[in-house]
Chains A and B, each alone.
Chain A
Amino acid sequence: MYAYDQFDRQLVSQRVAQFRDQTQRYLAGKISDEQFLPLRLQNGLYIQRLAPMLRIAVPYGTLNAEQLRKLASITRKYDKGYAHISTRQNVQLNWPKLEEVPDILQELAEVEMHAVQTSGNCIRNVTADQFSGVAADEVEDARAYCEIIRQWSTFHPEFAFLPRKFKIAVCGSESDRAAVMVHDIGLQIVKDAAGNTAFKVIVGGGLGRTPVIGSVIHEALEPKHLLTYLEAILRVYNQLGRRDNKFKARIKILVRAMGAEVFKADVEKEWAHIKDGALSLTDKEISRAQSFFQPPAYESLPQQDMQALALEDADFARWLQHNTHAHKVSGYRIVTLALKTTGVAPGDVTAEQLEVIADLGERYGFGEIRSTHQQNIVLPDVRQQDLLALWKELVELEVASPVVGTLNDIICCPGGDFCSLANAKSIPIAEAIQRRFEDLDYVYDLGEIELNISGCMNACGHHHIGNIGILGVDKKGQEFYQVSLGGSQGLDASIGKILGPSFAQDEVPNVIEKVLETFVSLRQPEERFLDTFRRVGIDPFKERAYA
């Protein structure tokens, strides 16, 4: 992974000092609440319902064992002994004290971590496919380019006060695991006919209260132009994006209002000024970035027979099928640790678990750990011969629920239990659904289903792109839930269709059950929920749910 040099270290430590000074001036009454707001947000600090929340950046979801141990120790020292993996691969602390945040940031800086631009109307933490560098279907490792973008966007002087937040995702594989179609900018790595790397540039996608699938404005951008092109997009958005209404301020609204073609023409005009200037990437810089993401010292191992391995134990077999993925190197496997234990908020992980996972990352891999936007943790480089032993340890640690990719691998925002924006609670909904569908055989029969829950229309739980989406709404002071069906991430992304009037909290598991029964009765053999939905449409589901 990327390692800081003296320059990066100096910048992060100057940032800590800057925020310490700003916090002191705020506490001394020299900065108003209004002025302190963007300053704290751009350091990841929210003021929440019960306490502040600190969002720590995990650039493109990559962590090492030392960082995990530091996070564990910080949660013990400054918080309540657990952390939360967010839907943008970041780590959130729910109970820090405002005046201690500079100290937390200082401790994070010791392990090359920070909370820079994890919130606020600026370029946010860039995200990537959590299987970058190891996925069997990879075109090219996205991480080097993510790091290049991270550096360019960090403390960018021109783009710290954008109309609204700005999220960039990069995907380097054929199947999209970074949701590039629903980001402000999505970058899909492609190869041209000659085998050269290029980026398909997608702009103006997004979730929130106006979900939009992005538009392609460049089919194949050469890597050397990556930053100048991004800068041109941001410059157009910074000047023309709406600032009169925060619900219409995202780039998706601008692109839609202008039309993708006109927007693109403006970007190209701006780009012409800087295209071959100092910000053009050099081969040297691309190689430098790539040098940090070279494959670790893999052993030369034979590919194991997964089916034979599965005969060891029925529970192990289920885990193997659902929680591990093909690795591009023979004899290795990617393992997902499911932070989806029923009764625990999706994505929550205790300090003890973090420490054990750090150890496991070293013992069963090369010390690298990933966080995912599905709120799980990944050990990317596990030898296939070690899978059974690892599984036993994961069972012990309660992170082996064999539910990855199933109905019970719920994506869920913190919701009304923590978040001051939320209209409704989301964690109890996740729990109620997990309890209703405890029969794993039934869950497996349902096949691949993504169920996503957001506690309000800011859509942190990505409900629009869940095959089943649940949105908390406020109805005359009561918490209600709107169900949508047929959303999906991926390159054929779609926005879910609303089933109909919203439901009371205790009705939700019944409604989901009816939706699933409808699916089971209509599905063709081996059909996924999404495919059935796309074939039959929403009407049969609606009839059943409101019968």
Chain B
Amino acid sequence: MPKIIKDLNVVEDSWQVWRDTETLPATGDYIVPLSLWQAHKEELLALGNIAVFLASDQSPKLLGTDVQSFTLIAVDFPKFADGRGFSYGRELREQHGFTGELRAIGDFMRDQLYFLKRCGFNSFALQSDELDEALASFHDFSDAYQPSIDQALPIFRRR
């Protein structure tokens, strides 16, 4: 089973990312594209555990009230330099009240883990052979100026 980082630990993971937007996967735990979900909700739910991922040009607003029906939502990073997903993470947590597993998938890198975590992500399908080493990057900084998901108050309210 492939390994991911979840809640600051390296764990085995059964979710598979299904990128095909036309055809449905077989039974199993799949993270599917938003458009596939929207077109085939009932059929997908019959297959097993289903989660959805947002492409980098898909705002969480597109999920509508479905947000609360998922235990896992993923955000895809097609390129690590595409930082839209950082805003999507915060929006899911802060504006849509999503409390389930928020996973980064795609081409993000180890050196973004600290910021991703601050933006509300708690699981990371990091493409790396050195997941254990990568855990160190969550601790690049011990505190921050800005409020975000992991720290509700800016430093100026705590100084």
Contact between chains at A38 and B154 (CB < 8 Å): no
Stretch at the interface among B4-12, B19-27, B66-74, B108-116: B108-116
* Given A151-B155, A238-B87, A282-B156, A157:B143 Cβ within 8 A: no
Tell yes or no: A444 within 8 A of B by CB.
no
Please tell me if the beta carbons of B152 and A157 are within 8 angstroms of each other in the complex. no
Query: Chain A: which residue is nearest B155 at the CB level?
Result: A7
* Distance in Å: Cβ of B1 to nearest Cβ of chain A: 25
Number of A-B contacts (CB under 8 A): 103
Does B115 contact A239, Cβ atoms closer than 8 Å?
Answer: no
A288 lies within 8 A of B159 (CB): yes
The answer to whether B142 and A157 touch across the interface, beta carbons within 8 angstroms, is no
* Chain A contacts for B143, CB-based, 8 A: 7, 10-11
Q: Which of B33-41, B44-52, B77-85, B98-106 sits within the interface?
A: B77-85
Which residues in window 131-159 of B have CB below 8 A to A?
140-148, 152-157, 159
Residues of A within 8 A of B119 (CB): 157-158
A121 interface residue per 8 A CB criterion: yes
Best-surrounded residue of B83, B84, B152, B155 (most CB of chain A within 10 A): B83
The answer to whether A152 and B145 have CB atoms under 8 Å apart is: yes
Chain A window 159-184, contacts with chain B (Cβ cutoff 8 Å), 1 for yes, 0 for no: 11110000000000000000000000
A503 in contact (CB, < 8 A): no
Query: Cβ of A525 < 8 Å from any Cβ of B?
Result: no
The answer to whether the Cβ of B86 comes within 8 Å of any Cβ in the partner chain is yes
Contact A278 B111 (CB under 8 A): no
Distance of A270 Cα from B157 Cα, bound (Å):
22
Of A39, A238, A279, A285, the residue contacting B146 (CB under 8 A) is A279
Q: Would you list which residues of chain A between 1 and 21 have a CB under 8 Å from chain B?
A: 5, 7, 10-11, 14-15, 18
Closest to A162 in B: B83
B95 contacts chain A at the CB level, 8 A cutoff: yes
Asked if residues A39 and B59 are in contact (CB atoms below 8 Å), the reply is no
A11 to B114, CA, bound (A): 14
**Contact status B157-A10, CB under 8 Å:** no
Interface residues of A in 266-302 (CB under 8 A from B): 273, 277-279, 281-282, 284-285, 288
With a cutoff of 8 Å between Cβ atoms, the chain B residues found around residue A363 in the complex are: none
Query: Does B94 have its Cβ within 8 Å of any Cβ on chain A?
Result: yes
B148 to chain A, nearest CB (A): 5
Most buried by A among B86, B87, B146: B146
Contact assessment for A5 and B144 in the assembled complex, using a CB-CB cutoff below 8 Å: no
Query: A155 is contacted by which of B88, B130, B144 (Cβ under 8 Å)?
Result: B144
Given contacts A157-B144, A273-B94, A279-B154, contact A35 B87 (CB under 8 A): no
Output the residue of B90, B145, B159 with the most chain A CB within 10 A: B145
Please, how many residues of chain A have a CB less than 8 angstroms from a CB on the other chain? Answer: 39
Check A158 against B87 for contact (C-beta < 8 Å).
yes
Q: Are B148 and A161 in contact (CB under 8 A)?
A: no
A106 in the interface, Cβ–Cβ < 8 Å? no
Closest to B158 in A: A7
Chain A, 385-420, contact with B by CB distance < 8 Å: what is the 0/1 string? Answer: 000000000000000000000000000000000000
Q: Please tell me which one of the listed residues A7, A38, A279 contacts residue B81 in the complex, with CB atoms under 8 A apart.
A: A38
* B-contact 0/1 string along A334-370, CB 8 Å cutoff: 0000000000000000000000000000000000000
On chain A, the residues within 8 Å of B88 by CB distance are 239
Q: Within 8 Å CB of B153, what residues of A?
A: 278
B contact residues around A73 at 8 Å (CB): none
Q: How far is the CA of A148 from the CA of B155 in the complex (A)?
A: 11
Task: Say yes or no: A161-B80 contact (C-beta < 8 A), given A11-B143, A239-B59.
Answer: yes
Residues of chain B within 8 A of A277, CB atoms compared: 147
User: What is the chain B residue whose CB lies nearest that of A122?
Assistant: B83
Q: Which residues of A contact B116 (CB under 8 A)?
A: 157
Once the chains are docked, how many angstroms separate the CA of A152 from the CA of B146?
Answer: 6
* CB<8 Å pairs between A and B, sample of 26: A5-B159, A7-B143, A7-B159, A14-B142, A18-B140, A18-B141, A22-B111, A35-B111, A38-B80, A121-B81, A121-B83, A152-B145, A154-B145, A155-B146, A157-B146, A159-B86, A160-B83, A160-B115, A235-B87, A238-B87, A273-B94, A273-B95, A278-B157, A284-B156, A285-B156, A288-B159
Residues of B within 8 A of A (CB): 59, 80-84, 86-88, 90, 94-95, 109, 111-112, 114-116, 118-119, 130, 140-148, 152-157, 159
Beyond A152-B145, A155-B144, A285-B157, list 17 extra A-B contacts (CB 8 Å).
A5-B159, A7-B155, A10-B143, A31-B109, A121-B83, A148-B156, A157-B118, A157-B144, A157-B146, A158-B86, A159-B83, A161-B80, A161-B82, A239-B59, A278-B147, A279-B154, A282-B157
